Structure 1
Amino acid sequence: MARRLIPSLNRVLVEKIIPPSKTNAGILLPEKTTKLNSGKVVAVGAGTRDRDGQLIPVSVKEGDTVLLPEYGGTEVKLGEKEYHLYRDDDILGTLQD
C-alpha cells in the first residue's frame, strides 16, 4: 500500500532535485555548477490562521520548483523515496524556466 503524506498547517513536502554530475556526453561537471539547492513540491498544507481566524494559504502549490535553504527541513522517508518537510516561510523562492 502506498502512503501519502498531507502536510499540516503551513508545511510543504518537497522532493529534492539531484542535478546530474556529468553531461550526456560523459563530461564531469564541477561541484559548483551542481550546487543549486532546489526541489519539487509534492504536497502542501492548508495554511495557517491569523489572529482574526482568517486562513493564510501556503504560497506555493504542488508541482512548483522551489529554491531551498542550505540547512533545515525535516527528512521524511515514505517507501523508498526521501522527502523534506519545510515551513512555507523557509522556502526562499519559486524557480521558473
Structure 2
Amino acid sequence: MKIRPLHDRIVVRRKEEETATAGGIILPGAAAEKPNQGVVISVGTGRILDNGSVQALAVNEGDVVVFGKYSGQNTIDIDGEELLILNESDIYGVLEA
C-alpha cells in the first residue's frame, strides 16, 4: 500500500535506532533514543500560498532529512512499518553525501 500526502506534508521512514554507543556499550530498547533522521518516502504537491499558487517542496523522495527531536508525533502504520508524517516546516535540513 502507498500513501500520497497532501499539500506540504512529507512521509518519512525513520532511520534505525542505535543499539550500541560509540564505545560499544549495548543499550536496552528503552534507553535508546529515536533517531532524528529519516528517508523521505513520499511528498505532497506543495504549500498553497495566500494568492492561491502552489509552492513546490524543497525535499524530494529519497532525500535523507533531519527533523526535530519531538517532530513526528503523527505516525501511521503501513504494511507493518511505522512511518512519520511531517510538515515541511518540521524538517531542519537535507543531508547530502
Normalising by structure 1, we get a TM-score of 0.80
For residues 11 and 35 of structure 2, what CA distance do their matches in structure 1 show?
A: 18
Amino acid at match of 2:76: V
- Match for residue 38 of structure 1? 37
- Match for residue 55 of structure 1? 54
Unaligned runs of 5+ in 1: none
For residues 72 and 21 of structure 1, what CA distance do their matches in structure 2 show?
A: 21
Across the aligned residues of Structure 1 and Structure 2, the Cα RMSD in angstroms comes to 2.0
Higher helix share: 1
Q: CA offsets, 1:70-96, max 9 Å, x none?
A: 002211100111100000011010011
Q: Structure 1: which 4+ aligned runs deviate by more than 2 Å?
A: 19-23, 27-30
- Match for residue 63 of structure 2? 64
- Match for residue 93 of structure 1? 93
Q: CA offsets, 1:28-69, max 9 Å, x none?
A: 478xxx875100000000012212111111110000000011
* SS of residue in 2 equivalent to 1:86: strand
For residues 20 and 60 of structure 2, what CA distance do their matches in structure 1 show?
A: 30
* SS of residue in 2 equivalent to 1:89: helix
For residues 95 and 5 of structure 2, what CA distance do their matches in structure 1 show?
A: 21
Unaligned runs of 5+ in 2: 28-32
